[in-house]
Structure 1
Amino acid sequence: MHPPDPGTRRGRPPKYGRAMSDAERAREYRLRRRQRAASGSQVLQVQTDTILLDKIRAAVTAGDRALVATLAAELVRRYPPHEGKRAGRAARAGLEREG
């Protein structure tokens, strides 16, 4: 049997004394993303993945291929391509033939 609820809930208290609606929360989120992208550092290594993706989207729209390549290269550096099972088998097969 659970004890009666004292009327309090665990967790972080509401920001403005009341819970935000979904629309308010989404608006705040978009505003923070815009502010981070506008005032963010030009150093790619300190920018979030989301900001990099937003910048890639803007660069594609603007037709700036060089910037798209630079930003995509930063994402590839962060998340190197995964070598799946097929790549592993192919590499092992090549080693067996050589040896």
Structure 2
Amino acid sequence: MRDAKDPGTLELRFRARAGRPSLFGRPLTPAERARRYRLRRADRMRMARRSPEKASDVSLLDELRGSMAMGRARNIHRIIREIAARYPL
């Protein structure tokens, strides 16, 4: 906004809209946003399964929860060893 009485003021440009930016020229529906979130989370869990040393703590905990539900003992031990290595006593 510019003061009309002051010729020395410059017009400031602000973003037109506040809020979440649109993707592909249109806003995502809540279902699309949730689907993309679930896909990202699944990708992070797969990365935690393949190489736990590169995964984030949250991904490790998600994968640990999934491995415990599925009864994957070897994977549980790998993840617990990685968490213990990151946070020594």
TM-score when scaled to structure 1?
A: 0.54
Number of the residue aligned with 1:92: none
Aligned match of 1:45 in 37, 53, 64? 53
Structure 1 distance, partners of 2:54, 2:14, is: 44
Q: Structure 1 residues 14 and 79, CA, compared in 2 at 3 Å: closer, same or farther?
A: farther
- Aligned to 1:19, which of 27, 41, 51? 27
State the SS of the aligned residue for 2:43.
helix
In 1: Cα distance, 2:57 partner to 2:15 partner: 40
The RMSD of aligned alpha carbons is 3.2
Aligned residues: 78
Task: Give unmatched runs, 5+ long, in structure 1.
Answer: 82-99
Change (3 A) 1:60 1:7: closer
Gaps of 5+ in 2: 3-12
Alignment of 1:27-38 (within 5 A): 27-38=35-46
Report the TM-score when normalising by structure 2.
0.59
* % identical aligned pairs: 35
More helix, by proportion: 1
